[in-house]
Structure 1
Amino acid sequence: MTFRSTLMATTAAVFTVLGGAAFADAHATHPVTGEILAADQTFTYRTLDESPSIDPGVVEDSDGGDIVRDLFEGLMNQDADGNIVPGVAESYEVSDDLLTYTFTLRDAKWSNGDPVLASDFVYAWRRAASPELASPYSWFLELMAVENVSEVIAGDMPTDALGISAPDDHTVVVKITQPLPYFPQMLTHYTTFPVPEKVVEELGAEWTKPGNMVSNGAYVLTEHVPQEKLVRERNPMYWDNENTIIEKVTSLVINDEDTALTRYLAGELDRTDIPAGQFPALQAEYPEDVMSVPNACSYYYTINLTDTTNPALLDVNVREALSLAVDRDIIVHNVLAGGQKPAYTFTHWATAGFETPETPMVSMTQAERNEKAVELMEAAGYGSDNPLSLELIYNSSSAHESIAVAVSQMWKQTLGVETTLGNEEWQVFLETRGNQDYQIARGAWCADYNEASTFLDLMQSESGYNDAKYVNAEYDALMAEAKTSDNPQVQYTAAEQLIAQDVPIIPIYHYAADKMLRHNVKGWPYNNFQQNWYARDLYIVAD
């Protein structure tokens, strides 16, 4: 398969003539739409937490991914509709057996002027898989079925055994062990992005600091104040720099949604999250600024199934009772009210090619669910004369707190469960949850690509983000079969039914991207289900 750039030659010529400087002129117009551009092309947005890392081989959260997509570019990108388009790779070919991908690279440069070479991808992938880096996302390369990846991650093979090579400076060859129809989609994920070997090896962990970082994306890192802000500005060395309009992107860490909204309304932010429950009022007052579109994320509570948990949670009757007693309609319509949908499966309802299976809970009324929940708790030995006490933790956010309070009240009213709530700063929370130092914890998973396996692979025994430590050989077998199935929906349905049966997690709702987005910010990828956005595709029109 060979790609052709989606940018028409005539449009590219106009962009080239105008050049980047022209976009800062208040009289400049967008070369395609004809809209008058604002003089200040700065995009400022709010993030909830400081991301643990902006190293492509280490980053593990969605906000960090947004930053890395600006700073770095992989083999493939996504367009506004979520389709795969060329990135550093101008084209690629696939072998007849669908097991070898050969990518041809364009003439791209690092921000220091060095050429981006095929060996930079080889180094990055080997580094991400190496036991020395211990990347929290190394398992993603296993999902990609890269040749010898499991053995490399385990330290049983050297990193140069990984199925990626560079026959020459402009050719990357990747070998996988089984055909994956969604493999090209996976190449838009930051774990597969290149990193500059000379810089990383010379500076170590300090390479991601402003002034040190060398990147190949549309922007470069110019300022980073931890827990406060991160700034990136246009990279003049980027191969498509002349087509970029936004000059500067600033992400501000604001832990409180209401504070962020106040700053948005004061004109300090161009995008922020809508506080829980405020969507209807804001939509009525600011209809041009409010957005709500399906977003490829699922919100759930994960249950610790190891010996460090509350012993009661090892009883499936207790876990099922807790799930049944959560009134998801109240959560999405009363607490959130931003276009979210109740979740009775892990996989988001809008995932491409996925048919949401019926689970027993779906056909029941909430009254029937509550009645069964009481029966299950009594069967487990808990009730008014022997109430159960639990601990529920979440990362600091007023929205997460609102949901936790609502759920704890539901558990109390229906089951008599006493729940102690605790909140933690994001990085601490990730460690607590990853070390199974919790009983029940808030979780959310955003798709790495638009296919159901990106959700369901998470619950495999060896998954790096299976924080419940759920182990079910039948489930693992189903997900392995799905990789080669002509109709993987059969396995996906069975896998979802096992999750509903074993309850290692409690799905609560499927996300919608409900945001305040300044009406004069254009180019937002509303139709991209993953809501993967690139600042280089945005522009601000004169207001």
Structure 2
Amino acid sequence: MPDTNKLSRRRFLKATGGAATAAALAGCTGGGDGEETTTDDGTGGDDTTEQQTTAEDSGQELSGSVFNRILSGTITTMDPVSATDTSSGIVIQQVFDCLMSYPDGLPTVENELAADYTVSDDFTTYTFQLEDATYHDGSKVKASDFAYAWERLASSENSRRAYFILDSIGVKHETDSEDSYKPGTLSIEAPSETELVVTLDEPFHSTLEMLAYTSFAAVPEGIVGDVGDYDGEMEYTEFASKNPIGSGPFEFNFWEKGTAAAVTKYDDYYGEVAKVDNVRWQVIEDDTARYNYAMNENADYFGLPTAQYDPGKVQVESTDEFGREIGTYGPLRNGKTANYVGVPTLSIFYVGFNMNKVPKPVRQAFAYVLNQDQMVEEVFKGRGSPAYVFTPPTIYPGGAQAANDKIESDYPYGVAETNIQKAKEVMEEAGYGPDNKFEVQWTQYNSDTWEEMAKILRDQLASAHVNMKIQKADFSTLLERGRNGQLEAYTLGWIADWPAPDNFLQLLNPPQTDTSKQGPISYVNWTADNGDAYQKATDAYQEVVNNPAPTDDAQQTRNDAYVAIEEANWEDVAMLNIYNRKDETFWYDSVDIEPFGGMGPSRQKLNKVQLNR
């Protein structure tokens, strides 16, 4: 199968029966606390060694006020179409602007570079009027810049998000004899410098939400020569690492790989000019070192690893309409009391099963012994909510109450309980017993917290004729093994790319889980041979694909299909839902910052932050 990053919508839907995916998992994460990252769990760690990383490590001095933060994962690029890790995305969010944005990370889009827009009656043509904005090099933002930037997204060899524009949104385009994208054929027109016209192959209900993703950011036309006939104003490596030019509230200052990065306010920003002169991130991957760095007040805004977190120190003073808990935390190790926000982000953390290697009775035994409520409270210290459906409750059809009602009435494995006897029975019915135990390999990210959960499951399953062995791997190794079909049971998470159930449930579209094909979106290998509900899940996701329009009728059809996919997953246990994460951040009184929303802290622009020192 050709690279899905270059496939046309028509060919990929024909091949898989669902919306396309990328070789690099878009919302995939190993877990996290504080500033999220797709390469770090942020939990566990011990307090036996102290690894200091000081602000001077970068060798860079900044003039004026500095808002100091921490990144728990390494930045890889400053190119919006190449970035797939959250650490890069956090910095890119400040440098580049899109047509739309999520204000403070709330899951409702607003205009950004789009001053206004109209949509055709058939929901396939979007016409945008642009703001009077300039790039950091002083040049004007023009409609033709978007045509160039989105061509890079679709066809550049540096792009890792081509499926966003060709498949998720489905901008109309031509294909070659192999039904792959023909470069230069996107249906994007720039009738004037300030008007942009985009035509889709068919309606897509989350078009505006997707256009808030930084992969769709404006860049100066011809800035690099990786598409079309452009020679490029600079070498690609210079743009991607030393001199990225965007139109955001901050301009790039420096990035030293593995050490630190900083941005500086752009005085000619068309929107609200930043109130701080600089934002600086120190890259610290070790849990204890991050904690020590924050306790020494080298960071103004930070997360706390679960090993050092005490839920008894949280004082919630208010909960707003978005479910964000706002209050204080303390005392910290340094004696200070920090400000606190806890946000139920659009996320799901789960156990996935390679269904070709782990039979259904074993998967059901896992489901019977797992007590999600217990794990959240005792292992994750209440930093989330127990999950029994794959869709985050706030975007489940009908909302959180509908999700809770469905779970209470229909969840087949017991809510908030461990049923070892039932797990034992289902295994014995399948022929397993004390002298015939099933051996299963559990592979997880390097996290002491997740290992604690794994040990609880291992001990419970031992009484149900399942011998579970625990193995830890770094994030990239875990993903590589998954893509190659080498995992049996594994732990991962998914963070929203756009706030709709299909962004999550695409991971449960059986044809997209086949690890023998290029770029599977999950690694469960759900087939008719290993799942009784395979056809139900496949047909339901096809209903989602066939009804993409932002209309009430199409939405109702999708809602019914979403619920059917959840039911199919319950029946076959392709994925075992664990919890929806509550992102918690802490900051000292010297900082005045708005709480972030359900799309997570990586979507929050920092131009409204104020320092009081």
For the aligned pair, the TM-score class normalised by the smaller chain equals 0.7 to 0.9
Q: 1:496 to 1:259 in 2, by over 3 A?
A: same
Q: Match for 1:370 among 420, 431, 435?
A: 420
Q: Is the 8 A contact 1:293 1:339 kept in 2?
A: no
> Aligned equivalents of 2:253 and 2:374: distance in 1?
44
Which structure 2 residues correspond to residues 120-519 of structure 1 after superposition, within 5 A? 120-130=145-155, 132-133=157-158, 135-136=160-161, 138-139=163-164, 141-148=166-173, 151=175, 156-201=180-225, 202=232, 203=234, 205-240=236-271, 243-276=273-306, 278-283=309-314, 285-286=330-331, 288-305=338-355, 312-313=357-358, 315-351=359-395, 353-354=398-399, 355-356=402-403, 357-358=406-407, 360-361=410-411, 364=414, 369-412=419-462, 414-424=464-474, 426-460=475-509, 461-462=511-512, 465-470=521-526, 472=534, 473-484=538-549, 485-487=554-556, 488-519=558-589
What's the offset of the Cα at 1:398?
Answer: 4.1
> Aligned equivalents of 2:463 and 2:282: distance in 1?
39
409-418 or 513-522: bigger deviation: 409-418
Q: 1:130 to 1:99 in 2, by over 3 A?
A: same
3-state SS of paired residue (2:393): coil
Q: Counterpart of 1:533 in structure 2: which amino acid?
A: Q
The Cα offsets for residues 211-230 of structure 1, whole Å up to 9 and x where unpaired, read as: 33222222233222222322
Identity in percent: 22
Q: Is the 8 A contact 1:129 1:135 kept in 2?
A: no
What's the offset of the Cα at 1:363?
Answer: 6.9
What's the offset of the Cα at 1:533?
Answer: 0.9
Using structure 1 for the length normalisation, give the TM-score. Answer: 0.82
In structure 2, the partner of 1:538 is 609
371-380 or 105-114: bigger deviation: 371-380
3-state SS of paired residue (2:306): coil
The Cα offsets for residues 359-386 of structure 1, whole Å up to 9 and x where unpaired, read as: 7436725656433322333344444323
Q: Is the 8 A contact 1:276 1:402 kept in 2?
A: no
The Cα offsets for residues 409-459 of structure 1, whole Å up to 9 and x where unpaired, read as: 4444555422131221x4444444344343333211111222222211333
Q: 1:59 to 1:364 in 2, by over 3 A?
A: same
> Aligned equivalents of 2:583 and 2:172: distance in 1?
36
> Aligned equivalents of 2:72 and 2:165: distance in 1?
25
What's the offset of the Cα at 1:190?
Answer: 1.7
Using structure 2 for the length normalisation, give the TM-score. Answer: 0.73
Query: Number of paired residues?
Result: 495
Two-structure CA RMSD over aligned residues (Å): 3.0
> Aligned equivalents of 2:498 and 2:559: distance in 1?
16
What's the offset of the Cα at 1:494?
Answer: 0.8
What's the offset of the Cα at 1:506?
Answer: 1.8
Q: Is the 8 A contact 1:456 1:495 kept in 2?
A: yes
> Aligned equivalents of 2:464 and 2:340: distance in 1?
36
3-state SS of paired residue (1:390): strand
Which structure 2 residues correspond to residues 11-50 of structure 1 after superposition, within 5 A? 41-50=65-74
Q: Counterpart of 2:561 in structure 1: which amino acid?
A: Q
Q: Is the 8 A contact 1:46 1:254 kept in 2?
A: yes
In structure 2, the partner of 1:108 is 133
3-state SS of paired residue (1:44): strand
Q: 1:140 to 1:260 in 2, by over 3 A?
A: farther
Q: Is the 8 A contact 1:105 1:170 kept in 2?
A: yes
In structure 2, the partner of 1:75 is 99
Q: 1:167 to 1:274 in 2, by over 3 A?
A: same
Q: Is the 8 A contact 2:113 2:133 kept in 1?
A: yes
Q: Counterpart of 1:42 in structure 2: which amino acid?
A: V
The Cα offsets for residues 292-351 of structure 1, whole Å up to 9 and x where unpaired, read as: 12111111122334xxxxx532x2222232233222122210111244111111111122
Q: 1:335 to 1:282 in 2, by over 3 A?
A: same
3-state SS of paired residue (2:219): coil
Q: Counterpart of 2:524 in structure 1: which amino acid?
A: A
Q: Is the 8 A contact 1:131 1:154 kept in 2?
A: no
Structure 2: gaps spanning 5 or more residues: 1-62, 226-231, 315-328, 332-336, 514-518, 528-533
What's the offset of the Cα at 1:231?
Answer: 2.0
Structure 1: gaps spanning 5 or more residues: 1-38, 306-310
What's the offset of the Cα at 1:495?
Answer: 1.4
3-state SS of paired residue (2:170): coil
> Aligned equivalents of 1:530 and 1:269: distance in 2?
19
Q: Is the 8 A contact 2:73 2:283 kept in 1?
A: yes
3-state SS of paired residue (2:561): helix
> Aligned equivalents of 2:371 and 2:343: distance in 1?
23
403-412 or 413-422: bigger deviation: 403-412
Q: Is the 8 A contact 1:220 1:233 kept in 2?
A: yes
What's the offset of the Cα at 1:56?
Answer: 1.4
